Each structure stands twice: as structure tokens, then as C-alpha cells.
Structure 1
Amino acid sequence: VISKGDKMLHLGKYESLLKNYRLYIGGLLLTLLLLVIYWTNKRYKYCNKINVLILKKESLEHQLETLSVMQKRLLKKEQELDLLQEFVGTVEEDKARLYYLTNQINILRKENKDFFLNLLANTKSYKLLLQLIQKKRDNCKCRDLFSEKEWDWLLQDIDYLSNGFVERLKKQIPLLSKSDIRFCCLFKIGISYADMALAFDRTLDAMYKKRNVILVKKVANMSKFCSLEELIDSI
């Protein structure tokens, strides 16, 4: 016969086990709830990240499509320019027509240059160059330089968007140094001598001297060009 005391002891143990069991169950449910909340939040963030990447991808595709259209228009303008230049050679005796055609060539050249500069303005390399120049304008003690990789990016963009200007420059004037080529490229994209001095971390006088070196020493066999602008426009 189980005594009343034993019954009370067993009942106390049972209630203690039941209480512990409830705590374990509650802890497990709480852990599961926290896991559900964690994974739900993580999935939400992941979905948001995916949506942002999709938007960026669509924006990039749109920019590439716009760039492709402008590139085709630029190529068409260059083809028109080539045709007009060929035609000019066949009508040298007709001064009035020659004058008209020369004006048309100049107009096409300007349109061509505007297209080129508009395309270049959207490139990362050109924006980095402008940022460096502005930084050095704002702080005359700044000694930052355009890195070799950034120069390579810029020249690649100029060469691509101008349908091979850099390669033609190297081929026509093989004596140009790497610095001379960069100088000519900055001149082509309309960078002033003062801003060139900032980009190269040199004095303004050094930029004028470099221009003279290119005209006098490096292109002595092309003496028909009186200015760097005529030389660059001819390439």
C-alpha cells in the first residue's frame, strides 16, 4: 500500500517533470519562431537585393542600347565625311562648289566631334578625369595622379568612340611617347592646357613646351600643320 506521503512525493516529481517539459516545449517553439522570423527577414532582404540588381541591369542595358544607337550615328557621320572629302578632290576647279563642300565638311566634323564628346561624357574614365581635375582645382596642394589603369581606360574609351583615333595617332606618328599620346588625347577631347597641367601634375609652361615638342621634334615630316589642332583634326 502506497502511503499518502509517497503519493505526494510522486505527484511533486510528476508536476516538476511536467513543468520542465512545458519549458522545453516553450523554448523549442520560441526558437522555431525566431528562426522563422530570421529566415523571413533574410529572404525579404535577398528579394530586395535581387530587385535592385534587376533594376541596375535594366538601366545598364538601356544605356548600352543608347550608346549603340549613338555609335551607329557617329559611324554614319564619318562615312558621310569620307564621301564628301573624296568628292571635294574631284571638283577643285569649281570654287563655289568647293567652298560649299568645305563648309559641309566642317559642319560634319563639328557634328562628329559633338557626338564623340557626348558619348565620352557618359564613360567612367572621363568622369574620373574630371573629378581629379576638379579636386586639384579645389586644393592646390593635392598631389593625386591619374593611375596607369585609369589612363588605359580613358585611352581605350577614346579609341573606341572615335573609331580608332589612338591607333591612328600611334601609326602616323610612331615617335610619340606614352606621355605625348596622352597629351594629344586630352587635347582631342577638349581639355584646356591649364587642366592638362593639373592632370599631369605639371606646370602650364610645361604643357606649352610639350605641345611644341610634338609639333617641332616629333612631327617634323608633317610641317604642313601649323598648329596642334590642325594635326589632331587630320588624324
Structure 2
Amino acid sequence: EQYDSAFVYLNRGIPSDNYYAKTNAYMKLSEMAMRLGKQNEALEYETLYTIYKDSMKLVEQPVEVVSSLKDVLYRQSTERYESFLTRYRFCLLLFVLLFIITIYFFLQRRRKRKKEIARLVDKRQLLYKSIEAIKKELEEKKLEIKEIQQHCECLESDVNSKVQLDSCLNELLEQYHSMQEDLERRLVERDEEVRRLRNLNLKFILMSSPIYQMLIALCEYNKLNPDGMKKITNDEWVILLHEIDMASLGFVERLSTEYEYLLEEDIRFCCLVRLDFKYADIAYLWGCTSAAVYKRSWSVLEKMGLNKDKKVKLVDILRKV
């Protein structure tokens, strides 16, 4: 009865699609048939067990192949990812280094430019002082020479005194001519330094000044607050024009002299253009529309007598002033 129950249980597993269940069922049935002395049934079950066992191995092989292939693909993808990650890190590091180097060289160049500007400005000031000192000395020498000449005219009878005065006069004249040559040389040197300073970018010279930073802040404020725009005050205009005049060696004065029909508002507008502000930014600083700024530009060109030439740009004209 126990074997009958086992036979029934094992026979239920035979219709299963699972080769593992069938193989195990035929193996158990073969063992039970052998114990019961049913040799033919045992042999039949043994044969079926062998068949399904071989089939089970055939089924396992593709699974192993697929599993191995998955492992290979996973390793390859992992290696590719690690390789990509390494290259990405290298490129990122290289980009950061290049960025840092670029910033460093930019700051170094800017620092050198500032030092060069400061040196040129100091040299110009020293030249102006030395020129003024030489001019003053020349005037003093000129007065001394004049006094000696007048004294010589009064001492025609006194030969010895006249000879001494003539010697002193000649010495003063030599000093006077030497100082004149020195003055001419320094004037040439001054003009050369002035030309070098004029060739420098005015915006670069003034960009670190408080008044220029105020213009930048005012422009940004008006962009964010179009309904409550602020304007440059008269005191700020005075400071700005003075700073521009100092940095450009008299740009405002030269502009008003060369183009005498320009009004005060035109001069102020030209100063903003000379600082390389875009017309859109000037509109925010001026508290008006871009159309009004372009109209002002055409008006200034017309007052300069250049309105007929449509190719002329105001900023190019101002850079030559």
C-alpha cells in the first residue's frame, strides 16, 4: 500500500514540463520497480530516466552559455564604463586646469597692464613736473641774462668788470641753451608718453574706479526696475567727466574744442560711448529708449558734420579724438 501511494504520487509528476521533476520521478520509479521485482518496468523507467537526464543537460547548456555571455557582457560594460569614467575624469581635470591657467594668465596680464598704466601715468606726471621746473628755471636764467646785459651796458668804461660780466653772461647763455635742449627733449618724451596713454583702452583704465562701478550697478538696477529707473546725478557726471579727462589726457576738453557745436548732454553721451557701453546699456543709464539713444547718436554725428556718411560710427570718431 505504501508503494502504491508512492507510485501514484510520482506518476503525478511525470506530466510536468519540468525536466528536473520528470528525471527525479523516473529515477524513483525505477528504484521502486526494482525493489518490487518488476525488472521490465524498472528497465523502462531507467531508460526514461536516462533520456530525460540527457535532455536536462541539453537544456542546462544554453542557460550556462547565456549566463556566461551575460557575465562577459557585464564585465565588458563595466570595463567600458570604468574606461569612460577615467577618460571623463581626465578630460574634466584637464578642462579645470586649462580654465585655471587661463584665468591666471588673464589676471597676470591685467595686473601687468595696470602696473604699466600706473607707471606711464607716474612718468607722465614726473615729466610734467620736470618740464614746469625747467620752464621756471629758464625764466629765471632769462631774467639773470637780461640783468647782466643791462649791467654790461652801464659798465662800458670799466673793462675788467665788463669782461667778468661777459664771462658770466656766456656761462648763463650756455646753461640757458642746455636747459632749452633738455626741455625740448622732455617735451618730445612727454608727447610720446601721451600718445602711448591715449592708445590704451579707456574702459580698461577706468573699469576698477568707483565711478565706473557705479555706472555698472546703475545699469543693472535699471534693468531690474524699469518702472523706477534712477539717473546719473550732476555730481556723478562731474566726477565721471573728470576721471575720463584724467585717464585720457583731456578727452572731454579736446572733444568740446574740436566739435564746438556739441551741447553738454552730447558731451556726456559721447563719454558713455567712449567707455564702450552698448547703446542698450546707455538707454538704461540715460533712462530712455534705445530708439532715443540712436537718435542722439545721429544728432551728434550731424553736429560733427558727419551725418552724410552712413558708414561712420560714432565710437570710431571718438577714439580718434
TM-score, normalising length from structure 1?
0.53
2:180 paired with 1:79: no
Partner in structure 1 of residue 200 of structure 2: 113
| 1:210 maps onto 2:296 in alignment | yes
- 5+ residue gaps, structure 1: 1-63, 83-107
Superposed, 1:57-136 pairs within 5 Å as 68-72=118-122, 79=192, 112-114=199-201, 116-136=202-222
SS at match of 1:226: coil
Task: Tell me, yes or no, if the aligned pair for 2:245 and 2:251 is still in contact at 8 Å.
Answer: yes
Q: 1:227 aligns with which of 300, 306, 313?
A: 313
- 2:205 maps to amino acid: L
Q: Which runs of 5+ in 2 are unaligned?
A: 1-113, 126-188
Q: Which amino acid aligns with 1:220?
A: G
Return the alpha-carbon distance in structure 2 between the equivalents of residues 74 and 141 of structure 1.
46
RMSD of equivalent CA atoms: 3.3
**Is 1:143 aligned to residue 229 of structure 2?**
yes
Contact kept? 1:125, 1:154, Cα under 8 Å:
yes
Any conservation in 1 of the 2:120–2:193 contact (CA below 8 Å)?
Answer: no
* Residue identity opposite 2:271 in structure 1: C
What is aligned with 1:95?
Answer: none
Cα distance, 1:118 vs structure 2: 2.5
1:161 and 2:247 correspond:
yes
| Matches of 2:293 and 2:204, distance apart in 1 | 26
Q: Which amino acid aligns with 1:210?
A: R
Among 266, 276, 281, the alignment partner of 1:190 is 276
Of 258, 268, 279, the match for 1:172: 258
Kindly state the Cα deviation for residue 227 of structure 1 after the two structures are TM-superposed.
2.2
- Once the two structures are superposed, residues 189-231 of structure 1 have per-residue CA deviations (whole angstroms, 9 ceiling, x without a partner) of 1111001011110110000001100112x11279778221231
Percent pairwise identity: 27
Change (3 A) 1:179 1:126: same
* Shift in alpha-carbon separation, 1:81–1:223, aligned structure 2, 3 A: farther
TM-score scaled by structure 2? 0.40
Structure 2 residue 285 is the aligned partner of structure 1 residue 199: yes
**Radius of gyration: which is bigger?**
2
| Higher relative contact order, structure no. (Cα contacts within 8 Å, ≥ 6 residues apart) | 1
